[in-house]
Structure 1
Amino acid sequence: MNRKDALRLLAASLAMPTVASSMGTSENLNLFGGRIRQSVCRWCFQDIPLPELAAASKDIGLQSVELLGPDEWQVVLDAGLTCAIAYGNDHGLTRGFNDPSLHSSLMEQYAKNIPKAADAGLTQIICFPGNRRGMDDQTGLENCARGLDPVIKIAEKHNIVISMELMNSKINHPDYMADSTAWGVALVDKIGSPNFKLLYDIYHMQIQEGNVIATIRQYSDYISHYHTAGVPGRHEIDESQELNYPAIMNAIAETGYAGFVGQEFIPARPDKMASLAQAQKICDV
């Protein structure tokens, strides 16, 4: 199971009803020590039943299981956690807001799921630009801005942040449009709403452009969420890979960031929850 496969499973979940929860508000979260609030991405631990993953994640100090469809939100809320960033459409990673032919469908799905997320006490929903397919970056940016404009208006009414993920196009997602911080920042500036920001994936941006800590410091106001993983390989974030995650977490904390960091590595070791517990300790600065 990879992230693309997990996204394919989302279509069915988006069609299912969601139950609002009184446990999704910040005052009901079990807060742990440290300056970084941590989450885990569901797709990386897809073979562990969600109730078990939620309970084990809470035990090791995480506060969220993320990248869930509406039918899954209640499971983590019932476990005393939240879903730090949720799915809002079923088009996946490669087809998104840079394609005007999808704007109507995307608007319909976000218009349905933004109020559901707000009712469940969630605060953030992910979005993607899609692949270029021969489109130049400026045209893609303009298309994304037009498609996102009515979505952001709904998000503003419900106090939901729509966050576009930055990912590398060198290795993992060839042709993906939002593959540079500069492009994402330009889109945020064009939209001009506090309810549209960026998901800065540390793994992806290390591969694509490097200079991670300096970029975080320069553009912290544009970032509403972070993801982790070890480079190379997308596995554990310890000394087996090249990124210095304690230094990166300190840099994030020093910007005054109050959101979540999502653990999005694929465990290479047999004891997956031990790897997740190790990652929690590494990022608990």
Structure 2
Amino acid sequence: MYQLAPNIELLFTEAGDYHDRVRAAAAAGFDAVEMWGPTGADAPATPKDLPALKAALEETGTQLTAQLSEPRTQFMIPPRDHSEFFRKLDEGVEIARDLGCPRIVVGSGTGFGGAKRQTQLDDLIEIYRRAIAQIDGSGIVLALEPVNIRVDHPGALLDRTSEAAYVARGVDSPQFGILYDIYHSAVENEDMAVELRGAADVLAYVQLADAPGRGEPGSGELDWDERLSILRDCGYDGPIGLEYYPTTESSASVRVIVEKAARA
């Protein structure tokens, strides 16, 4: 059975602040959660009371599986000043270690029309090689997320799983891999089985939402028995982040995926 991690930006919001959402998730039977940026440097994430969040995680025995890197850096857009990214990376790693979070999710930023795509992918490899050198020995894994450009993130450089895998192999570190988001991949009309066969060796984390709509599993058109079977067949046995916009009360919205994950 997969460990499921509700995203506390989007789920259990009815409980109140983030630390109370952790407690609500635990009361609903979850032993893991994920979140966006810890300090709220980027909208729509908001600042967390980190001591209170840590206390709730420890009190409930809940694992924080992933947090977002801050800020969202436009790596390829001139003047290509990445200093704030590298400065905040150290802060993010320190927070992640304090909260017991093993992963920080990173992105590609917007693509730049004035440079070849291949050049930008290779530049991204060099940026993340430097990032890994900076956090070497921390135990934190950076998970690079390709996102759909058709609905949610128009203009993003990385929208293909295969290109994210190319960057991860170029970085070539056990502290670097990719985040495969079932929703983003489906919106881009990727063949999940094909993409995961080609990226299984660099797969560091998985998230999900149904498509279309980015709601809970069962609200869209995806076959979740099939999707979880494909995921299992590729060898992934890590946690799955539930990063969706619920169309009903949080505890009820997870019912479909909890039942199917129990059989996967």
User: Does TM, scored on the shorter chain, surpass 0.5?
Assistant: yes
2:202 is equivalent to residue 222 of structure 1: yes
In 1, the alpha carbon distance for the partners of 2:76 and 2:163 equals 13
2:34 is equivalent to residue 66 of structure 1: yes
In 2, the alpha carbon distance for the partners of 1:102 and 1:86 equals 23
Deviation for aligned residue 1:237: 0.8
What stretches of structure 1 of length at least 5 have no aligned partner? Answer: 1-33
1:207 to 187, 191, 200: 187
Change in 2 beyond 3 A, CA 1:253/1:142: same
Q: Which amino acid aligns with 1:141?
A: L
2:63 is equivalent to residue 97 of structure 1: no
SS, match of residue 22 in structure 2: helix
Q: Identify the residue that residue 57 of structure 2 maps to in structure 1.
A: 76
- Structure 1 vs Structure 2: percent identity of aligned residues? 22
Q: Identify the residue that residue 256 of structure 1 maps to in structure 2.
A: 235
SS, match of residue 81 in structure 2: helix
1:177 to 157, 160, 169: 157
Q: Identify the residue that residue 37 of structure 1 maps to in structure 2.
A: 3
SS, match of residue 256 in structure 1: coil
RMSD: 2.1
2:103 is equivalent to residue 124 of structure 1: yes
Q: Which amino acid aligns with 1:148?
A: Y
Deviation for aligned residue 1:46: 7.1
In 1, the alpha carbon distance for the partners of 2:221 and 2:153 equals 21
Change in 2 beyond 3 A, CA 1:86/1:77: farther
In 1, the alpha carbon distance for the partners of 2:174 and 2:57 equals 27
Change in 2 beyond 3 A, CA 1:98/1:63: farther
Change in 2 beyond 3 A, CA 1:180/1:96: same
Deviation readout 1:153-179 (Å, 9 max, x if unpaired)? 233311111011111001111111110
Change in 2 beyond 3 A, CA 1:142/1:251: same
What stretches of structure 2 of length at least 5 have no aligned partner? Answer: 40-47
Number of residue pairs matched by the alignment: 246
> Are 2:125 and 2:171, in contact at CA under 8 Å, matched by a contact in 1?
yes
SS, match of residue 63 in structure 2: coil
> Are 1:111 and 1:151, in contact at CA under 8 Å, matched by a contact in 2?
no
Q: Which amino acid aligns with 1:85?
A: A
In 2, the alpha carbon distance for the partners of 1:104 and 1:267 equals 36
> Are 1:180 and 1:209, in contact at CA under 8 Å, matched by a contact in 2?
no
Q: Identify the residue that residue 15 of structure 1 maps to in structure 2.
A: none
Q: Identify the residue that residue 11 of structure 1 maps to in structure 2.
A: none
> Are 1:40 and 1:66, in contact at CA under 8 Å, matched by a contact in 2?
yes
> Are 1:96 and 1:128, in contact at CA under 8 Å, matched by a contact in 2?
no
In 2, the alpha carbon distance for the partners of 1:262 and 1:170 equals 22
Q: Identify the residue that residue 245 of structure 1 maps to in structure 2.
A: 224
